[in-house]
């Protein structure tokens, strides 16, 4: 199982949106993150990059 940490704008500790993300969906202009415990977070933005080998994803906030 691959788990990722999702960061807002840059991969720094203060920019963590969610840890242990198992699923990323897109709906109505929002990125929907789901973690290992099935908690969800909706975020208006776009995918910047995903490094699944190292377990992180960067999203950019939509202005």
Express each pLDDT in 2-61 by its tens digit: 899 999 999 999 999 999 999 999 998 899 999 999 999 999 999 999 999 999 999 998
Where on the phi/psi map is residue 53: left (φ > 0), alpha (ψ -120 to 50), or beta? alpha
Q: What is the pTM of this model?
A: 0.91
pLDDT at 38: 97
Dihedral in degrees, nearest 10, Cα atoms 14, 24, 19, 22: -170
Place of tokens 């969800």: 40
Tokens 């993300």 belong to which residue?
21
CB 44 within 8 A of CB 29: yes
């Amino acid at each position: 199982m691959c788990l990722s940490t999702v960061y807002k704008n840059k991969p720094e500790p203060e920019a963590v949106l969610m840890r242990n993300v198992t699923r990323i969906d897109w709906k109505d202009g929002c990125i929907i993150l789901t973690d290992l415990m099935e908690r969800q977070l909706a975020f208006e933005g776009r995918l910047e990059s995903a490094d699944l080998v190292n377990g992180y994803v960067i999203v950019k906030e939509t202005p």
